[in-house]
Structure 1
């Protein structure tokens, strides 16, 4: 009874810490259990949930509850967690005959993959920004999911059938791994459960031994990944306060995940809170010094504060980490120009155009750089190209440059 009580207590706590008022959680409070222990009253409920041993976290019920309640807040469409769990139970009943013999891990994985992707027709959708791809009610109803949504489905089935599956996270991607004492098999949910070796992820995501990725995660850590992704969904809607709260909650479950602090930095930066943004980017970089996007964004934030030498140092590091990224190189070019290093800035903008010939930002940057140097003939050439790519120049700048436009052949005497 104590174990069952803890499970239901966790779910009660979860509703509290997510802070969604007025929700009746049908299906989880109808079993005549003992009343909630009064000693929990007034305790930091999020911390209480996170203090539970990893093995006592009911990952399935917790993911269903988080997805339903937070997802309902995100989309504006109420979701009944009991209905989601009922749908999942039906799915589990259908797969159960295929999992009677669990003696061979590869056969178990093959049975799961065949059931989900062939018999049930689930498909991978790579659009990470669409919450329909990882909110579990939508994943079950549409039979579409991104890496997170499909991985969550595997983990729910794993808990139901006592399979040693774990979530695995690499930057902006996750998958599932079958791992026990003797067997370790990756299950790439974006490729119908294909077995992809660690070397593939190391190459594709530029991982090194020092970076904190590619290990099998505990239940709490996977909850942190899920909460982080929900926070990003609120941020995309401009709801930064809600996003930041979810990032704080995610950090309690998975304090070692750099993406949480990077995402929080983005939310603070969008609100113009540059000191707080820089602090969060620094926390992300303490965990993963090679997180290029954090260095890139921190350089931008430092530049906006007028801390140009520091901004340039971060911009150089970011460009070294991802030299083929046009946005990162354009940030470096802009920072060089802001530091008065116009020649170097022009060179960097040209490198951007080698990668992306129609990059409006680089074309506009070259316009401004040549204008600053008084080279107006060159400036108007790049200005015209930038405008053809959608850039709108300052009217005063354009008015000055118009005088230096080469006449069209038809207008010459």
Structure 2
């Protein structure tokens, strides 16, 4: 979408303007907005005001380098650079060598240029570097074996625009505010609709597509945020709750500012990211982020049942996440699905007893498979995806029921079957399935939590308290008091105080 500048300023941009109208329009521009000044120049390139807008945009780019650069316009065609800033969706940037050199010259003082990872040309050299030396943007393009020059220039231009709005000696918090304002409000980067990202999560993960479309899933926009932060000397931490990623800033006094990239950078309380079985938040480093991008891409091919391609991508990710238990688990399943049973079993044996530092319990799927509680075809049922339709939920429910007829003690199958009944609004059926689950694994905290919630909703307060206390006891032993459990206790206490029975 083209910059909204002239949308608000004029209802007939293509109509001819008198000199006074054009001058008034020029005066209404934000003097520090590269996008607005470039957009004005695009519309009125032959006018005096248009030429002045172009000069002003050039001065914005050179603002922090005024001592070292001539602020007169360079002797080359700047229109491709203008288009790079104000391009339409999915309009890939195309710059000549001279234009790229110009942007490189302006941006050469960025801190990321000092990273060893910025200078590497081969992935093999990149893999030898410690995480603190990784330039995330360059690393991703090397791993993908793609030319990164135009997209790196785009990110440089973004950082230059943000820098122009920062006063000398700006604090890190001011940098965060400026990045949020630019990415989410001026450039309108957004989380894509569910119907798009669920099918093409890889499209909204890698930088080229995120930049071209201005849409990205949590990982895609977080990667862009990190690339800009590295150029502005803003140290950020990378956090990965189960199935999610966001970035955060830790102040010197220990205070944490979370930056939720799927919600325009708002500071979401950390406890929101903790679940019944997630007692702490897993941290990642810049090198691991590269691997996570390939994990996202692999998930698309897994969903399409192209297990060989998924394995290929997981093995690329493994170079950046060599000892990651979740990645080993994913590789294990996909090797099983392509018939490489020995390889699959090897990976699953490595992780079957692993309990992550951030979790309460281990994943039961690998253990159940190795104990013959489910076969390969049964495993596939728990990875069936559902969309927003009732039909897809029923299809998965039917597949799970068929699997459980053969393997009645397959815990993940039981748990997901209960989930499908809940998605269909059938609490009674879900309760029966969870009861079967708890006969097999009575100390599973999430199952006890859900049973407590269901019993509360069905006004069975005594059983609700019973399951609540069981879940609370398990979590208390792990020094974990999640928000969801506190809210359940509050609701249960209001409905049926513990001293009333």
TM above 0.5, one fold?
yes
Tell me: CA distance 1:143–1:248, structure 2 relative to 1, closer, same or farther (3 Å). same
1:176-187 alignment runs, 5 A limit: 176-179=247-250, 181-182=252-253, 183-187=255-259
* Deviation digits for residues 104-130 of structure 1 (CA, Å, limit 9, x no counterpart): 333322221111111111111252541
CA contact (8 A) 1:167 1:176 kept: yes
Greater RCO (Cα-Cα under 8 Å, separation 6 or more): 2
Q: 1:176 offset after TM fit, Å?
A: 0.8
Q: 1:357 offset after TM fit, Å?
A: 5.4
3-state DSSP of counterpart to 1:123: coil
Q: Aligned pair 1:193/2:262, yes or no?
A: no
3-state DSSP of counterpart to 1:51: coil
Question: 1:202 maps to which residue?
Answer: 274
Root mean square deviation, CA, Å: 4.3
- Separation of aligned partners in 1, 2:250 and 2:419: 43
3-state DSSP of counterpart to 2:267: coil
CA contact (8 A) 1:257 1:287 kept: no
Q: 1:139 offset after TM fit, Å?
A: 0.8
3-state DSSP of counterpart to 2:165: helix
TM-score where L is the length of structure 2 = 0.49
Q: 1:153 offset after TM fit, Å?
A: 0.5
CA contact (8 A) 2:190 2:216 kept: yes
The number of residue pairs the alignment matches comes to 293
Q: 1:220 offset after TM fit, Å?
A: 1.5
CA contact (8 A) 1:198 1:214 kept: no
* Deviation digits for residues 12-52 of structure 1 (CA, Å, limit 9, x no counterpart): 2x2xxxxxxxxxxxxxxxxxxxxxxxxxxxxxx3xx53332
Question: 2:337 maps to which residue?
Answer: 270
Question: 1:140 maps to which residue?
Answer: 211
- Separation of aligned partners in 1, 2:129 and 2:278: 31
- Separation of aligned partners in 2, 1:98 and 1:223: 30
Equivalent of 2:368 in 275, 285, 299: 299
Tell me: CA distance 1:352–1:132, structure 2 relative to 1, closer, same or farther (3 Å). closer
- Separation of aligned partners in 2, 1:55 and 1:193: 24
Q: 1:147 offset after TM fit, Å?
A: 0.3
Unaligned stretches of 5+ in structure 1? Answer: 15-44, 70-78, 316-324, 342-346, 367-413
Q: 1:174 offset after TM fit, Å?
A: 0.5
1:236-385 alignment runs, 5 A limit: 236-288=303-355, 295-296=364-365, 299=368, 302-303=372-373, 305=375, 337-338=405-406, 354-355=421-422
- Separation of aligned partners in 1, 2:408 and 2:189: 55
- Separation of aligned partners in 2, 1:338 and 1:200: 38
Question: 1:231 maps to which residue?
Answer: 298
Equivalent of 2:136 in 59, 62, 81: 59
Q: 1:194 offset after TM fit, Å?
A: 0.9
* Deviation digits for residues 299-320 of structure 1 (CA, Å, limit 9, x no counterpart): 36744559x9xx9xxx9xxxxx
Tell me: CA distance 1:141–1:226, structure 2 relative to 1, closer, same or farther (3 Å). same
